[in-house]
Amino acid sequence: MKNIVYLCIAFFWFHFTSAQTSEAAVKLLDEVSENIAAFENLSFDFSYVLENRQEKIKQETSGTVTVEGSRYKLMYLGAEQLFDGEKTYTVVPENEEITISSPEEGEDFGINPSKLLNFYKEGYDYQWDIKQNVLGRTIQFVKLIPSDENKEVSYLLLGIDVLKKSIYRLIEIGANGTRTTLTLSNQLTNISLATDFFKFDASSYPNYYINN
């Protein structure tokens, strides 16, 4: 009988603490979302690392992004990707080629900056995870577990700067053992941008082939 009582107490305590940590995770994510939404625009540098130790694969790249609402300008892998709110323009200087596409078709790099800042709002269950001190910054990680069965992603770890209420790092753990880490740095907000900053001007690329 005592064992049954202990098991019941342990069961209810586990679910009670799990609910508490889930609520804390949601609260922190909501604060981050509200903070980001308050900015007129945002720019940041990022590093992207893809690693699979079993397959002995490690790839590292970096880039810069400026985001305003749904519009963004992304510099990555020697190319530029611009979304003006209607169309996506991918400019590849190496090939002197420009591809114009719909937003859904235009995510050539696997990164959509405007979605990066709020992707976690839907489709995940949340758990409070580890806290780290990174160069004097307190980074709290929230574990995001896909609500629906996802054969490619086991879970995500979203690192939040507790003081600034901003995203610091996103780690994706793939079902195949692949780990991708996206780290944001040099974040600037409410910067002054030219009125045509997110406007594509074909005349700037006179010799480029345009694939529309």
Q: How far apart are CA 80 and CA 99, in angstroms?
A: 11
Q: Does pLDDT of 89 surpass 90? A: yes
The token duo for 195 is 């009125």
Other Cβ atoms within 10 Å of 99 Cβ, number: 19
* Residues of the domain holding 145: 2-211
Strand ranges of the sheet holding 79-83, from the earlier edge strand across to the other edge: 124-134, 137-146, 153-161, 166-174, 179-189, 42-52, 57-68, 71-76, 79-83, 88-92, 97-101, 209-211
Q: How far apart are CA 59 and CA 177, in angstroms?
A: 15
pLDDT of residue 204: 93
pLDDT value for 111: 53
pLDDT, position 44? 93
Mean predicted lDDT score pLDDT of the chain = 83
pLDDT at 205: 94
pTM for this entry: 0.80
Residues 109, 8: Cα–Cα separation, whole Å: 50
- pLDDT tens by residue, 17-41: 334 457 888 889 889 888 888 899 9
Task: Look at residue 152 in the predicted model and tell me its pLDDT.
Answer: 83
Q: Is the pLDDT of residue 6 over 60?
A: no
Q: CB of 146 within 8 A of CB of 107?
A: no
pLDDT value of residue 2: 40
pLDDT, tens digit (0-9, with 9 covering 90-100), for 110-125: 456 666 667 777 788 8
Which helix (H) or strand (E) segment holds residue 65: the answer is strand 57-68
Angle (nearest 5°) at CA 74 between 183 and 96: 135
Compute the average pLDDT of residues 77-103: 92
pLDDT tens for each residue of 42-83: 999 999 999 988 888 899 999 999 999 889 999 988 999 999
Q: What is residue 55's predicted lDDT score, i.e. its pLDDT?
A: 82
Determine the Cα angle at 185 with ends 181 and 186, to 5°. Answer: 165
For residues 12 and 167, which has the higher predicted lDDT (pLDDT)?
A: 167
Number of domains in the chain: 1
How far from the centroid of its chain's Cα atoms is residue 102's Cα? 21
The CATH number of the domain holding residue 34 is 2.50.20.10
Q: Where are the alpha helices (DSSP H) in the chain?
A: 2-37, 113-116
Helix (H, G, I), strand (E, B) or coil at 75: strand
Amino acid at 149: E
Q: Which pLDDT tens digit goes with each residue over 131-177?
A: 999 989 999 999 999 887 767 889 999 999 999 999 999 999 988 88
